[in-house]
Structure 1
Amino acid sequence: MLQDDTSLNKTALIGSGGLDSVCLAYRLAAKGKLAMFISFDYGQRHKKELHFARQCADALGVPFFLADISTIGGQLTGSALTDKNVAVPDGHYAEATMKQTIVPNRNAIFLAIAFGIAAAHELDSVAIAVHSGDHFVYPDCRPDFLALFNQMETKSLEGAVRLYAPYVDKNKAAIVADGVKYKVPFAATWSCYKGEEKHCGRCGTCVERREAFYLAGVADPTLYADPDFWLTCIESEQ
Structure 2
Amino acid sequence: MLFRILHDEASGVLSYLLGDEATREAVLIDPRSSDRVVLDSVLHAERLKLRWILRTHDHEGAQPHEARRLLAWRVPLVQGRERTGVTVPTDGERLPFGNEVIQVMHTPGHTRDGLSFRWRDRVFCGGLLATQACPLQPQPEDAAALWDSVRCRLFSLPDETLLFAGHARRSRVVSTLLEQRRWHPQFAALSRDAYLARMAAKVRGVGSAGNGRSVASAR
TM-score scaled by structure 1?
0.36
Bigger-Rg structure (1/2):
2
Q: Which has the higher contact order (CA 8 A, sep 6+)?
A: 1
Question: Of Structure 1 and Structure 2, which has the larger fraction of its residues in strand?
Answer: 2
TM superposition score normalised by structure 2: 0.38
